Structure 1
């Protein structure tokens, strides 16, 4: 199973002074097209990328039909300069909208203004756009920590005539509890049933029965993404959740067994760089080929009921979830050397005893 992640450089590299000036028609603003990554990054610094056609508003939440030489309408996919400065935060739950960079450990947000219960980003010159219509900030995906959605009228998990949405528990299993179809609910996390169960061995593992959303007011209950009305699913990414620890493979990683032996017989003896997976424990294992103890993560999904299920901790980076501590020490697994040569060497004799 692969998850999208789905997750940093210093704040000084990103909290650039915003330029709130729009010099061309906003209908024609497009992201810079270049294959050079550095040029792409420069082109997107200080910008918002839109996920929907977007009207510009004033500070009272009124639509503008004339703005800086345009008709006040921005097209989906366009970029526009923002007027505030990006700030660092310690917890994405403290802000409705936030983003991270290369990993999930450091978060940032762009200050927004709430007008009539809706969040807006300032683009300067008295113009504002809805935060809900922003896909990216400085080319990084925008996350939201909750959203109101509506259940479908015909659900995937519904049973019988009622067709109400069936609730999933914190272990990824269906329960006998239901939420009435077509109801509005508030969700605050996205996950999948493997990340809840810690095992591929659960029922109903088709794509439509995999992804779930967590109910905001009940941290132990989830609903299928497939049970949500498609038009109500938020355009931004919902913050991720796992019962375990989510990591990303940073280099091609061999899979080991508890004895420190690499898998050499299966069709997939390694995990590719960039793969994201859940792990459930951290331990030292003696690796005979290296003649030393190494720190390993125990995976939840490498192989079902297989002996080979460990990857080196040095081959991964932490994304989110529980912070694990080793269950043992390197000393615990270091073998006692019983083959030490104790034969006296030529210069080892105590001459005083002769």
Structure 2
């Protein structure tokens, strides 16, 4: 038992140190002079899908009216909305001075990922040298487009990823999700710094058109449950372009939290599917190993209560790792105040939420995306 505990502890310590080093490397890269080249001003296509987002669209669209960088087109795609989303998009296009294209998707996705299905329609109309992606329930800061464009001043950059911050009620449901977004993305950004990218959030993502075209893009990811992570894997596998991450708060995207635990659990299951069935072996094996260790530590609470107190060492090691890594990554990366405020309760809940999402994903192989059931299928 002592040997097992020692091996697990060493693994977790090395993992945390490696990710922290990766974060430091990536933050240094993000401050390079090329990232502030004001002479680089390509046309940007901002592609935004939305389904039943009438309550969020006004804030989103106003945020793009305020962008300091003006050489962009806005491509809005309504996906079979049952509310006033399409009308709001059209009204905005008529009155805005921006270049706006409004598309309407009326086709059911079938077995395809519904978001990918809609993104492909938008990209078919895109004219930009760079593709930016966010969602209809998001808000971008006034410097977002400019700062992400600056990151592409380096001709070797193929993809740029950014962080998310959540808006909503100041309660545990929202606080946990805010912590979760930062924690998982700081791990992902650390992996980017180590040149082993494993994923990102698709609502703060940008890709060079040339890199997108050379990989086949979303056309080859119609059945993927986590198209953003798979896209990064394809660009990385191509070997021509690098993946970059941004830490500046002005590059954060604000998004709305899931209002209930079941809705967040469904979202967590979708993210778990992306890792469990990923073609990126580093992401796949790393996530599975972490989930199995977490599951073992949680299960060991039972014999700790009924058989011997010595079993408490397993959950204690796990929670010590989570707490220490959360603090280290928070100090090394870039987080908001809510991350620290909800750190302790989030750490306590974290293994419970993600162990169940892991086994749910493995057993069912399906997720519910805004009413559409997606069965995961591996990219060939």
| TM-score range for the pair, normalised by the shorter chain length | under 0.3
Structure number with greater Rg is 1
TM-score scaled to structure 2, two decimals? 0.26
- Choose between structure 1 and 2 for higher RCO, CA contacts under 8 A separated by at least 6 residues: 2
Q: Which structure shows the bigger proportion of residues in helix conformation?
A: 2
Q: Could you state the TM-score of these two structures normalised by the residue count of structure 1?
A: 0.27
